Amino acid sequence: MRDAGPVAYLPRYDLFAIARYAHVQAALTNWQDFSSARGVGLADFAREKPWRLPSLLLETDPPLHDRTRKLMDRVLSPAAIRALRADFTAAADALIDALVERGSFDAVRDLAEAYPLTVFPDAVGMPRENRRFLLPYGNMVFNSFGPRNAFFEAALRDAAPVLEWVQAQSRREALAPAGFGAVIHAAVDTGEVARDEAEILARSLLTAGVDTTVNGLGAALYCLARFPAQFERLRADPSLARGAFEEAVRLESPVQTFFRTTVHDVAIGRDVGTGGKAGGDGMTSGGMTGDGTTEGEETKGETTKIETIGAGRKVLLFLGAANRDPRRWEQPDDYDITRRAAGHVGFGTGIHGCVGAVLARLEGEVVLTALARKVARIEIAGTPRRRYNNTLRGLASLPITLHAA
């Protein structure tokens, strides 16, 4: 799809696809042309009723988004995250000690799922019971951004029994007086958000806080297991842990795709340069009408077609493809923990850029630091199994053996 041009049309789902780094980056930072309010999945909320109340964060545009995002920025502020560091580090050290002792285990279930399922609901202020219910719920939501295919239907069946539970956990009464949930609900008292809005914002944490980091940690473990020379470098210098996690998010891109909807005609495909040295933003909007190819343009020896996407069309942004675009990255398919991975779009970018990225990065850092200090070698001990999802890329199972340092 990258090589097909700046934009490709996918007839099966009647949508446009953008897969080159420069154009994905430009679309993500252009909320004026690329709206989130009609849903960031294939379903167009202007035509079909959403299966749940839309997220007040993910599935909104300014000005509503500015108000809710401001609150969530405060909930997940650097200071709030700093306060968690000691507990998150202790939990990572304890878990890795226990797993080294055990030797062989499933890196997905016993580490990538186990770690976020402990530390994240604690930080939110959730009760201990039934935390695993967050997994089928997240799996369902991320499948629901895609077509109503077999993955979607299976995920819906798996999640049906926990839908009511998730809703109940978002309520003020269900959440501890200290924690992210309480901070959201306290904003009702100051009039910043309404009570029903606070519940939907708390739901965002429960939706987006677990499966994402499970697949981020899973990606990092899978990379370190497959690239032993990189794990050696990490062991030699555990301060590379943050970079090792970031590079895994770039390479594997646990969240592969998100949709936007054009609010008017949008022209795509002007020369946006290569290698991130882009001059223009790759987009011009308004004024151009019609559909399909408008004209060809010569740019540095490469003919770039300018296409106009009509108003009200779904556009699929391929974050994973952008993160491996050879126009932007050297040796894009290599896992290199000292690469300058900054600028990757694995956490999105722009006004909808991941609000929880600071927390994800803390989880990645402390888990990889513990591995670097306590483990001499990570051995793949069985056949990894993929978990297929319409949005997420990750594994259902990764049998490994840890050899103690």
Binding site for ligand OVM (CB under 6 A): 55, 57-58, 141, 204, 207-208
- Rounded distance between C-alpha atoms, residue 278 and residue 383, angstroms: 41
Judged by CB, which is closer to ligand OVM: 36, or 369? 36
Rg (CA), the chain: 21
Minimal distance in Å, beta carbon 352 to ligand OVM? Answer: 8
Q: Select from 394, 395, 393, 389 the least CA-distant residue to 156.
A: 389
Q: How far is the CB of 55 from ligand OVM (least distance, A)?
A: 3
DSSP structural state of residue 39: -
C-beta separation of 209 from 124 below 8 A:
yes
What minimum distance in Å lies between the beta carbon of 26 and ligand OVM?
Answer: 20
Nearer to ligand OVM, 65 or 339 (CB): 65
Give 353's DSSP letter.
S
Task: Provide the minimum distance between the beta carbon of 391 and ligand OVM in the complex, in angstroms, as a whole number.
Answer: 8
Quote the CA–CA distance of 224 and 227 in Å, as a whole number: 5
- For 78, the 3-state DSSP assignment is helix
Nearer to ligand OVM, 50 or 310 (CB): 50
Residue number with CB closer to ligand OVM (138 or 269):
138
Environment class of 154 (CB within 10 Å of its CB; exposed 0-12, middle 13-18, buried 19+): middle
d(CA 100, CA 212): 25
Give the span between the Cα atoms of 119 and 366, in whole angstroms: 12
| Of 204 and 304, CB closest to ligand OVM | 204
Least distance between ligand OVM and beta carbon 40 (Å)? 8
In angstroms, give the least distance from the CB of 274 to ligand OVM.
Answer: 28
Q: Are 380 and 225 in contact (CB under 8 A)?
A: yes
375 φψ region: left (φ > 0), alpha (ψ -120 to 50), beta (else): beta
User: Minimum CB separation from ligand OVM for residue 151, in Å?
Assistant: 16
Residue closer to ligand OVM (CB basis): 96 or 355: 355
Q: Judged by CB, which is closer to ligand OVM: 7, or 56?
A: 56
Cβ-based neighbour number of residue 267 at 10 Å? 21
Backbone angles phi, psi at 261, to 5 degrees: -125, 130
